[in-house]
Amino acid sequence: MACRLGAAEDKPISISLERTGCFGTCPSYVLTILRDGNVTFEGREYVKSKGVFRKKIGTATLTSLFKKIEEIHFWELEDSYRTKINPDGSISMITDMPTQYVTVRSATKSKRVEDYYGTPPGVKDLERLIDEVAGVSEWVGKEMKP
């Protein structure tokens, strides 16, 4: 008889956002937020703070992230979004854009979603929320744009 896991095993223990560079001045960094409120930022290019930085945020501020993950059905998303299907059935592609990777880990599973182009709106909302909750603007040096 299979044992059904409880909700506690399925809750995120870490949430990471990686933003890659582009053919321009797109901020490039990796941001990881742990369930206990520990935040790690690794600034790469076009950020105010290059290198690895850490801080602690209140765990109560993470509630909005957990809710957004559930709201957008993160675990059911495609692993990669690189094209967009238009209403007429044709496919659109673009180049030279930055890529965002959102990774969520729980005690029982891990999922990474690549956001290049054609991603559902909820994923962009989650990316903005990750930046906001972590206070990434202190390291990037400017407000993040969608």
CA atoms within a 13 Å half-sphere pointing along the CA-CB vector of 65: 29
Q: Please tell me the distance from the alpha carbon of residue 134 to that of residue 48, in angstroms, as a whole number.
A: 16
Task: Please list the alpha-helical segments (H only) found in 4-146.
Answer: 7-10, 63-71, 121-134, 137-140
Q: Does residue 91 lie within any of the structural domains?
A: yes
Q: Does residue 3 lie within any of the structural domains?
A: no
- Does 10 score more than 90 pLDDT? no
pLDDT tens figures, 59-112:
999 999 999 999 999 999 999 999 998 899 999 988 888 999 999 999 999 999
- Does 6 score more than 70 pLDDT? no
Q: Does residue 5 lie within any of the structural domains?
A: no
Question: How many domains does one find in the chain?
Answer: 1
Q: What is the end-to-end Cα distance of the chain in Å, rounded? A: 47
- Residue 103 belongs to domain spanning: 13-140
Write down the pLDDT at residue 96.
84
Q: Does residue 93 lie within any of the structural domains?
A: yes
Please report, rounded to a whole number, the percentage of residues in the chain having pLDDT higher than 70: 90
Q: From the CB of residue 64, how many other CB atoms can be counted at a distance below 10 Å?
A: 14
Q: In CATH, what number is assigned to the domain containing residue 103?
A: 3.30.1560.10
What pTM was computed for the model?
Answer: 0.87
